[in-house]
Homo-oligomer: A and B are copies of this chain.
Amino acid sequence: MKTAVIIGSGNVATCFAKAFVNTGISITAVYSRNLNHAQQLAVEVGGDAMNNFNKLPTNADLYLIAVSDNAIENVSNQLKVNGLVLHTSGFTAMDTLKNNQRYGVFYGLQTFNKNSTADLNNVPFLIEASNLEDEKILWHFASSISKKVQVANTDQRQALHVAAVFANNFSNHLFAIAKQLLEQHQLSFDLLKPIILQTAHNAVTHNPIDVQTGPVVRNDTATISAHLDVLQQYPEYRQIYELLSKSIREFHVNSTKNK
């Protein structure tokens, strides 16, 4: 891999393009529907800025499609190139790119923003390619960017994407609910920050099921029912409390059975 074309100018395009440059790849073009955006990124990573597919260089080694999921197919269909075409989506099937001769997936599992450094060394990357030779090339390339590269098929990647929604989107929402409960009782969210950090630390250094605490695993029905009373004026949070408590209970009954 010596040359790459970047399609897209958002957080992932920016972060990945910077990482490519750091590994010695030359960016020959940056495409965005919005020419200004393409220019802004090209200033940082090099290459010609453009908003016209017909002008894309056709001889690059790599074409990185880092656009929103629903635009990937359309972009792919407009490419007529020999290089390896990759999308960066966690949930889009690899075959969405099948009009190309050589294609694959280059998915990094992390929250990206434009200002984050280009150091992707610890970000897990899931790769997939349409043939074994390109899988090897992609593996080698990805390993120059991250030390956590693994081959995964579309089914696996999609399961990971759903799992990440639970681990990131949903847990963050629980933090938001907790913050709201505190503020409605004139308490600062700062009070919860140490336990939020500790929860994440415990989950990654242990098996989460082994560090589960709280009234459900203690089978402390008095506290559970008193908690539901506190949530009386928040019917939606009460419903979440009940559903997650039921799920914890079943999870732990099953895990005990399996021991």
Contacts and interface: CB of A to CB of B under 8 A. Distances in A.
A208 B175 CA distance: 6
A156 interface: yes
Interface stretch (A36-44, A79-87, A134-142, A184-192): A184-192
Interface in A191-214: 191-204, 207-209, 211-214
Interface string A142-173: 00000010101001101111111111111111
A138 B176 CA distance: 31
A178 B204 contact: no
A212 B174 CA distance: 11
Contact of A161 (B126, B197, B227, B250): B227
A162 B214 contact: no
B208 A179 contact: yes
Interface of A: 69-70, 91, 109-111, 122-124, 126, 148, 150, 152, 155-156, 158-179, 181-182, 184-187, 190-204, 207-209, 211-216, 220, 222-223, 226-227, 230-231, 236-237, 239-241, 243-244, 246-248, 250-251
Across the A-B interface, give the 4 residue pairs with the lowest CB-CB distance, nearest first: A169-B214, A200-B200, A163-B178, A171-B171
13 contacts: A111-B195, A111-B213, A123-B194, A152-B187, A156-B185, A165-B214, A166-B181, A167-B199, A169-B244, A170-B240, A171-B175, A173-B208, A176-B251
